[in-house]
Amino acid sequence: MSPAFRTMDVEPRTKGILLEPFVHQVGGHSCVLRFNETTLCKPLVPREHQFYETLPAEMRRFTPQYKGVVSVRFEEDEDRNLCLIAYPLKGDHGTVDIVDNSDCEPKSKLLRWTNKKHHALETEKNPKDWVRQHRKEEKMKSHKLEEEFEW
């Protein structure tokens, strides 16, 4: 049976892995999450899963390392922030560090998900201030270009 159909077959645990948004994503996938410093999590595609499961050993050094399948759930912390928590599937015992669910504080502080919407935390400024500053910088750049290329 495909892991896509076994995602509900999760071992009953009180601990899981906190997933964080992968902010350096360029494109290609709709939702890429950071599992830890060296591992990304993305939606399961059955054909891709089959490819990695049947990949000949000689080819593995030329492909991204495949570490398996997890089940991901939304869980609220005490501040009502939504956290994405990954749980290993039954029978899949990797060497991944387990963390306490109550500690849903993102390590990167770049993005926090709430039950309403996500908030960028890059700066503590008001978003309108950031937009104004960005527009001002863009206007300065365009003026510089006009000065450089005066007809």
Residue 7 lies in a domain: yes
Is pLDDT above 50 for 120?
no
Per-residue pLDDT reduced to its tens digit, 50-62: 999 999 999 999 9
Is pLDDT above 50 for 95?
no
Residue-level pLDDT at 20: 87
Report yes or no: 84 and 74 within 8 Å, Cβ to Cβ. Answer: yes
Q: Which domain holds residue 34?
A: 3-105
Residue 132 lies in a domain: no
Per-residue pLDDT reduced to its tens digit, 1-15: 445 444 444 444 447
Domain count, the chain: 1
Residue 125 lies in a domain: no
Could you tell me which residue, 143 or 129, shows the higher pLDDT? 129
Residue 19 lies in a domain: yes
Residue 118 lies in a domain: no
Report yes or no: 85 and 73 within 8 Å, Cβ to Cβ. Answer: yes
Residue 11 lies in a domain: yes
Residue-level pLDDT at 57: 93
| Continuous segment of H or E residues that includes residue 50 | helix 46-54
- What average pLDDT does the chain have? 69
Residue-level pLDDT at 91: 55
| 26-35 CB burial, b ≥16 within 10 A, e <16 | eeeeeebbbb
Per-residue pLDDT reduced to its tens digit, 19-64: 988 877 776 657 888 888 889 888 888 999 999 999 999 999 999 8
| Continuous segment of H or E residues that includes residue 76 | strand 70-76
Residue 73 lies in a domain: yes
Report yes or no: 64 and 48 within 8 Å, Cβ to Cβ. Answer: no
Residue-level pLDDT at 119: 43
| CA–CA separation, 10 and 92 (whole Å) | 10
Could you tell me which residue, 102 or 130, shows the higher pLDDT? 130
Answering whether pTM is above 0.75, one says no
